[in-house]
Amino acid sequence: MNYRHIYHAGNFADVLKHAVLTRLIRYMQKKDGGFRVLDTHAGIGLYDLSSEEAQKTGEWLDGIGKLMEADLGPQVSELLEPYLSAIRELNPEGGIRFYPGSPKLARMLFRPQDRLSAMELHPEDYVRLHRLFEGDHHARITELDGWLALGAHLPPKEKRGIVLVDPPFEEEDEYQRLAEGLEKAYRRFPGGTYCLWYPLKKGAPIKEFHETLQALDIPKMLCAELAVRSDRGITGLTGSGLVIVNPPFTLKDELHQLLPALKDHLAQDRFASHRAFWLRGENKAVKDD
């Protein structure tokens, strides 16, 4: 309940998460039928990077601030265009003042038949999120512990959907809770595409987390990680990862394009790295750079 994403909005972890979320949405939209995005830890939806909180950390400067100015090349630019266009739309006068959280970004990319369910437990953040989407019949905003949504709100009535789970990781057992949440949700909605975010930092139980996921009865899980700096002498966030369950068949190749570019432009020291690999399913992996 203490976590406030405004301090971290637009940072390198958001860039990875939102770049991949955009690709998942665009893949879903290859079919005419509507789908639902379920965002379990939605935040306030839209962030003012000129606010005192965002300026205090300035994390966005090393994230979306760098990416918007980068020479990405034609292939990466095409993959990131829906994401970056949404940010430009929010900032018509140029620069980057407003940054979309996951629910706002998803909603900006929707067609008329697509829908959003967003959960937020923090009372003040819920009020702001609800106000942002007030009157929007494509969005359902609920004041709820996002972990409960993995049971109560699945499967969606559309029978197609993306489930984004981006917890604050304030508790030591969040990695285990993430795995347990996925297992519960998958039993209810095995055809869904799941995108699970997790932090990379010194001492984090990443190996154990991956092994726990590999032990689940889920056929296809793709993992993408981006570290922007070494964890030597640093206790905070050095990178982040995503586990994508039932990924689009195109995603592995897209990550092969995206991850090296994100590493090159967002690196904070020479130890920056990336990797993409199958936890379950296909055996071919994108190699570390």
> Side chain identity at 142, as an amino acid letter?
T
Q: Is 120 annotated as a binding residue?
A: yes
Whole-angstrom distance, CA of residue 7 vs CA of residue 168: 12
From 39, 62, 114, 166, active-site residue = 166
Q: Which two tokens stand for residue 277?
A: 């690999």
Could you tell me how far CA 153 lies from the centroid of its own chain? 19
Partnered with residue 99 across adjacent β-strands are: 47
Is 137 within any annotated ligand binding site?
no
Q: Is 41 annotated as a binding residue?
A: yes
User: Residue 30, class by beta-carbon neighbours within 10 Å (0-12 exposed, 13-18 middle, 19+ buried)?
Assistant: exposed
Give the pair of three-digit tokens for residue 201: 């930092």
Task: Establish whether 166 is an annotated binding residue.
Answer: yes
Query: What's the token pair of residue 60?
Result: 């966005």
Q: Is 102 annotated as a binding residue?
A: yes
User: What's the rounded Cα separation, in Å, for the pair 261 and 255?
Assistant: 10
For residue 166, indicate whether it is catalytic.
yes
φ, ψ dihedrals at 288, nearest 5°: -60, 150
Of 208, 278, 286, 275, residue with least CA distance to 246 = 278
How do strand 239-245 and strand 115-119 relate by DSSP bridges? unpaired
Q: Which of 153, 186, 181 is nearest to 167 (CA)?
A: 181
Query: For strand 239-245 and strand 193-200, is the pairing parallel, antiparallel, or unpaired?
Result: antiparallel
Tell which residue, 70, 102, 20, has the closest CA to residue 276. Answer: 20
Write out the binding residues for S-adenosyl-L-methionine.
18, 41, 102, 120, 145-146, 166
Tell me which residues are annotated as active site: 166
